[in-house]
Amino acid sequence: MKILSKTLILLSVLILPILFTAQESTTDTSKLYLIKKTDGGEFIGEIISDDGREVLIMTKSIGKVYIIKENIALITQTNETKKLSNDEAEIAEFRTEGPFTTRYYFTNNALPIKKGENYAFINLFGPEVHFAVTDNLNFGLISSWIGSPITLVSKLSIISEKKVHLSVGNIIGNSGYLAQGRVLVGLHWGTLTIGDRMRNVSFSAGYGYFSDKSNTITNFGDSFHDALFLGFGGISPVGKKASFILDGMFISNTRDNRSYDPQNTNNPWRNTTEPTITNTTLILMPGMRFYSSYDKAFQISLAGVFFTNKRYNRRIYNSDGSSTYKSGEVTSFPVPTISWLRKF
């Protein structure tokens, strides 16, 4: 009996510290926590485990998620978080996480896409598909509904630290079935994004070009044209299930003026004052994004194009012998459109 008592006491001494240690390392899973990542992403849910290297959280939108501890900026429990309904918590998650947070209406920001977060972008003009092959690199395919033109797109996130993000992107393609694919296009740019996934602004700069070996577009034998691009964009939440999006792009192209003829002063159609022509285009795309789930979103944009064409800059000679300098005019037209985002 004494031996049994001593044995029980010894087992108690050995087991009780283990039980207390296990109890201390177990997280209360009855509470909701907000986890903010260093790249601006956020998750809301119950913390199942925390082993010091990674945290396992049960979210309401995508289930269990493992997050590496070094990628976590903050773990907090707030009264507001506990009061969120299931739908509200889910909306909060996919507005601050997921592939849709990496782009505006047309352009992208510098935030990285998590590996495997593939998505499709479908609009009135054609489809896009994007594949995240790593946490910092994704490739995509852009085309129209007739398969022409068709382009490959890539994006590499170089820096993603707290609220500063930097990426580079490329688009390369051709005219597809049109002109036997002999019209080649390319665009290369860099993007700086400031903010997190829910609220941010971006500034981009790039260089674009196309080569028309078939003379289908130019009609003058020109085989190469290039342009400089400046882009801007931003997103901010509006209400519980929507975000306001502003997307825009400046395009500046300079080329030779084929109507320039300083020798032929008697021909008003040839005697222009500028040997080169600089055309400037502004594409402005304000819009709204409406979230229905982690995998689905709908967008509408009241886009417009403003175009300055200096092709007709010339001096016009009047019947009385006087002359009038006629400059290019600004042309604008609306391009309202809608699109759908789908994760797969």
Mean pLDDT, the chain cut into blocks of 10 residues (344 residues total): 51 47 44 77 83 85 83 71 50 67 93 90 95 95 95 95 94 91 94 94 96 68 82 92 94 72 52 66 96 88 88 57 63 94 92
Nearest to 34 by CA among 10, 55, 9: 55
CATH level 2 (architecture), domain 20-85? Roll (2.30)
Q: Which residues contact 67 (CB under 8 A, 6 or more apart)?
A: 35, 37, 43, 54, 55, 57
Question: CA 200 to CA 108: how far, in whole Å?
Answer: 12
Is the alpha carbon torsion for 243, 298, 296, 30 positive or negative? Answer: positive
In this prediction, residue 294 carries a pLDDT of: 75
In this prediction, residue 185 carries a pLDDT of: 94
Phi, psi of 163 (to 5 degrees): -115, 20
Is the alpha carbon torsion for 191, 194, 197, 200 positive or negative? Answer: negative
**β-strand pairing of 150-161 with 137-143:** antiparallel
**3-state secondary structure (DSSP) of residue 126:** coil
Q: The whole model's pTM is what?
A: 0.70
In this prediction, residue 324 carries a pLDDT of: 59
Burial of 334 (0-12, 13-18, 19+ CB in 10 A): exposed
Q: State the fold for domain 99-343.
A: Porin (2.40.160)
In this prediction, residue 93 carries a pLDDT of: 54
- H runs (alpha helix) in the chain: 2-25, 79-83, 86-95
Dihedral Cα 294, 73, 202, 238, nearest 10 deg: 50
Question: CA 135 to CA 193: how far, in whole Å?
Answer: 17
Distances (CA, A) of 232 to 103, 122, 229, 299: 12, 22, 10, 18
* CATH 2.40.160 segments of the chain: 99-343
Do 198 and 96 meet the contact criterion of CB atoms below 8 Å apart? yes
DSSP-derived letter for residue 318 is P
**3-state secondary structure (DSSP) of residue 124:** coil
**Structure tokens that stand for 241 in this block:** 């299930």
AA letter at 285? M
Extract the runs of DSSP E, i.e. beta strands, from 62-174. Answer: 64-68, 72-76, 119-123, 127-132, 137-143, 150-161, 164-174
Do 272 and 258 meet the contact criterion of CB atoms below 8 Å apart? no
Q: Among all chains, which residue has been given the structure tokens 């499709």? A: 120
63 conformational bin, left if phi > 0, alpha if psi -120 to 50, beta if neither: left
Q: Which residues contact 56 (CB under 8 A, 6 or more apart)?
A: 47, 48, 49, 50, 64, 65, 66
Do 248 and 230 meet the contact criterion of CB atoms below 8 Å apart? no
* CATH 2.30.30.100 segments of the chain: 20-85
